[in-house]
Amino acid sequence: SDICSLPFLVKICQKIKLAIENSVPFKDVDSDKYSIFPTLRGYHWRGRDCNDSDGTVYPGRRPDDWDIHQDSNCNGIWGVDPKDGIPYEKKFCEGSQPRGIILLGDSAGAHFRISPEWITASQMALKSFFNLPTALTNELNWPQLSGATGFLNGYSRIKENSLYLRLRERNHCNHRDYQNLSKNGASSQNLKKFIESLSRNQLLDHPAIVIYAMIGNDVCNGRRDPVPEMTTPEQLYSKVTETLKFLNSHLPNGSHVFLSGLPDGTFLWDNLHDRYHPLGQLNEDVTYDQFYTFLSCLQVSPCHGWMSSNKTLRTLTSQRAEQLSDTLKKIATSQRFTNFNLFYVDFDFQEITKEWQRRGGQPWQLIEPVDGFHPNEVALLLLADRFWNKVQRQWPEVLGKENPFNPQIKQVFGDQGGH
Amino acid sequence: PSNGHICIGCVVVVSVIEQLAQVHNSTAQASMERLCSYLPEQLFLKSTCYLVVSMFGPDIIKLLSADMNADVVCHTLEFCKQDAGQPLCHLYPLPKAPWEFTLEKARQMVKRSPTLKYSRSD
């Protein structure tokens, strides 16, 4: 019954299992945590390696001897300008303060999505499942389309870009410098298990913008009574302080860390409960209320606290979420670190709902239809847009300056090797 | 995956089979063949589909042909189980006939099936 028990598959299964458990690329010949393979924690999750046989070559590092001989940081800029003998990396990037983006997140940050095409019989066709293998080998996540580190065009027609693409647009020297270290089920309490997958050399690499966005699992679980399992403010304080100490010992000086608050998830029931679930649309026989009840009954709900007909429980869950957000705010205002500045940002789901309604959208259109829980691509990109504008307004130094050499970089190196 | 995830997986797959048959006005068997034909070869998806159909198809066909819904099919094939003292978990509205009666009738229909020798984890 277990395909991995077949002798010839044992080894590869072990490797895949390790990659997923440790959130590091399955295919990484030089073990620098960057890969030339897309899924299984490959370049869909972190910048594509441009030389997977040399562990000193990877995205985000400071250039080796101004990259005269090779592209040591995979930003596609290297060699010497024949006109004046100046290395291109020196000419175009020196002083532009390149920086990377790193997300420490959960399934929302990884952009968890079960495609509705896979379960909607009325629209099902041969092409419906073409992306299933990619999704399965990315743990049903789509980080390549996510709000923080997305670099591919997604399925929504929204114009907003991910934070990574905005950083790249601002300074083309940031090309490929992204890491999406998100994991389904991640919370403040289990981040420790995979934070070692963060790849940043304090001396050799550029500074980074790190976003800590554990937005649900500290109050979300599938228990019949979810409250006892919820993280307390004291537990959160202790773990997040530990996480920040880890970051201070790994991030290059001049980095920035953002703590994201938690949402008010009562949004889900309020906007979905009486709508039909994709499985119930053909015969109008299954609403999200029934779907949530089914998940909770089986104790596999991603968030019983908010995906419940019990108003008291929903309110309790939101209260705990708010307490945890206040705790994060307190940490951000009271703790100082040598290698990074620390900020707190609200998870502004209400605000992006208003923005979406201003554009003529409906709130329920911001949630993944199959699980009725995760923010979808539109929501993630609107959240990215709001975060970017807030940072640009309040802390412009975080994003770095516009690189005046962007046009020249484009002219000489085109798409810089793409992604 | 936990037992809960196995149950959900079964209910979703049987729902899709049932609804494909409805949409294309076809038999449950034709619907299963159609679903498997849509799946890509990668990751053994298509062959796994045909394997599952060969194992459980006959029972699913019998039960769907008797107008049993996905909840009944999955409880009958023991992908879903109601443990003692635990509530009955179902996605669709309950059948008009009493649940126990419906389930027993369904079990009789597949009683001699070789399928049920597989443990649920399979």
pLDDT by residue (tens digit) across A86-109?
999 999 999 999 999 999 999 999
The pLDDT value given to residue A21: 83
Q: What is the mean pLDDT of chain B?
A: 91
Sorting pLDDT into bands at 50, 70 and 90, what band is A362?
very high
A188 is catalytic: no
Chain A residues closer than 8 Å to B45 by CB = 129, 132-133
Distance (Å) from the alpha carbon of B44 to chain A's nearest alpha carbon: 10
**Which has the minimum average pLDDT: A10-14, A140-144, A243-247?**
A10-14
Helix axes A349-358, A377-394, angle to 10 degrees: 110
Hey, are the CB atoms on A290 and B91 less than 8 Å from each other?
yes
Per-residue pLDDT of A257-275, as tens digits, reads 999 999 999 999 999 999 9
Report which secondary-structure segment, H or E, holds A247. Answer: helix A233-250
Of A1, A121, A286, the CB nearest to B91: A286
Sorting pLDDT into bands at 50, 70 and 90, what band is A154?
confident
Find the closest chain B residue to A302 by CA distance: B5
The pLDDT value given to residue A13: 84
Residue B121 pLDDT exceeds 60:
no
Find the closest chain A residue to B52 by CA distance: A1
By the 8 A CB rule, do A61 and A32 touch?
no
By the 8 A CB rule, do B106 and B97 touch?
no
Sorting pLDDT into bands at 50, 70 and 90, what band is A39?
very high
Report which secondary-structure segment, H or E, holds B36. Answer: helix B28-38
Hey, are the CB atoms on A294 and B89 less than 8 Å from each other?
yes
Residue A356 pLDDT exceeds 60:
yes
The pLDDT value given to residue B120: 42
- What is the four-CA torsion angle of A129, A130, A134, A140, rounded to 10 degrees? -20
Sorting pLDDT into bands at 50, 70 and 90, what band is B119?
very low
The pLDDT value given to residue B111: 82
Residue B116 pLDDT exceeds 60:
no
Residue B113 pLDDT exceeds 70:
no
Cβ-Cβ contacts under 8 Å between A and B: the total is: 79
Per-residue pLDDT of A181-201, as tens digits, reads 999 999 999 999 999 999 999
Closest CA to A258 of A328, A164, A171, A193: A328
Closest CA to B4 of A336, A83, A22, A221: A221
* Mean pLDDT computed over A104-132: 97
Sorting pLDDT into bands at 50, 70 and 90, what band is B115?
low
Q: CA A258, CA A264: separation in Å to the nearest integer?
A: 19
Please pick, among A96, A107, A260, A318, the residue that the annotation labels catalytic. A107
| Interface with chain A: mutation pick from B91, B92, B118, B121, highest number of A CBs within 10 Å | B91
Closest CA to A24 of A37, A8, A5: A37
The pLDDT value given to residue B1: 67
Hey, are the CB atoms on A297 and B89 less than 8 Å from each other?
yes
**Distance of CA A265 to CAs A66, A185, A217, A268, B117, Å?**
48, 16, 12, 6, 44
Hey, are the CB atoms on B119 and A286 less than 8 Å from each other?
no
Q: CA A224, CA A332: separation in Å to the nearest integer?
A: 34
Find the closest chain B residue to A297 by CA distance: B89
Per-residue pLDDT of A219-265, as tens digits, reads 999 999 999 999 999 999 999 999 999 999 999 999 999 999 999 99
Per-residue pLDDT of B6-20, as tens digits, reads 999 999 999 999 999
| % pLDDT > 70, chain A | 100
